[in-house]
Amino acid sequence: MTENFFSEAFNTPTGWMHIVTDAERKLRAAHWENNGEDKGGRVLRLLRIQYGEHGFQLDEARAPSDARLALEAYFAGQIAAIEAVPTLARGTDFQRLVWAALREIPAGSTLSYGELAAKIGRPAAVRAVGAANGANPIPVVVPCHRVVGADASLTGFGGGLERKRWLLAHERMHTTSSVPHNLELRI
């Protein structure tokens, strides 16, 4: 069965982002261009991994999707705008468990991989949590950038550590939660 998806590209303060939504308006994939070169190639690779070479048809969106509008609002400082974006990504049961837990990390705060593993009831699965976090096809909305090393160091992020640093600083600047904003992150 072939799934029908819609592709959009838009500029963000962190570079051009490509997103893919489905007919039900669920966000399926997102990623950035790297230095203006990728032109959506990373998103296509993510889709091929999840749905197979011929498991999807990708068309350009005719109008901005709700997901795009929410992401644009997020990048403009309305951090909570992404919280209600519906997502759907294929993955193992464990990956989906980790991705769901990522969405529960409040904006402006971080968890370590170990803390995230404990949160899902699998404290010994730190490496598996890291692998699932790295396999997340929907960064920002499924906020894998909010996971850091045990010593608060910025560790792996598919969009690059500079983007991760920017996203965390952006969220801390624009959140009004009781989360401490003075947490020092290490590189």
Give per-residue pLDDT as tens, 70-89.
999 999 999 999 999 999 99
For residue 36, CA distances in Å to 18, 32, 46, 75, 113 come to 12, 9, 18, 19, 31
Q: How far apart are the first and last CA of the chain?
A: 44
Q: Give how many domains the chain has, as a whole number.
A: 2
Check whether residue 74 and residue 139 sit in a common domain: no
Give residues with Cβ within 8 angstroms of 15, minimum separation 6. Answer: 32, 33, 34, 35, 36, 163
How many of the other CB atoms lie within 10 Å of CB of 179? 15
Give residues with Cβ within 8 angstroms of 63, minimum separation 6. Answer: none
Whether the pLDDT of residue 48 is over 80: the answer is yes
Does 154 participate in catalysis according to the annotation?
Answer: no
Whether the pLDDT of residue 180 is over 50: the answer is no
- The span from the CA of 33 to the CA of 137, in Å, is 14
List the single range of 69-78, 139-148, 169-178 with lowest mean pLDDT: 169-178
Give residues with Cβ within 8 angstroms of 151, minimum separation 6. Answer: 186
Could you say which of 20, 47, 144, 147 is catalytic?
144
Whether the pLDDT of residue 60 is over 80: the answer is yes
pLDDT range class, residue 39, cuts 50, 70, 90: low
pLDDT range class, residue 41, cuts 50, 70, 90: confident
Domain assignment present for residue 185? The answer is no
Check whether residue 49 and residue 71 sit in a common domain: yes
* Domain of 142, in residue numbers: 93-174
Whether the pLDDT of residue 107 is over 80: the answer is yes
Check whether residue 62 and residue 101 sit in a common domain: no
pLDDT for residue 178: 47
- The span from the CA of 60 to the CA of 20, in Å, is 9
pLDDT for residue 22: 95
Check whether residue 170 and residue 98 sit in a common domain: yes
Q: Is the pTM of this model over 0.95?
A: no
Give residues with Cβ within 8 angstroms of 37, minimum separation 6. Answer: none
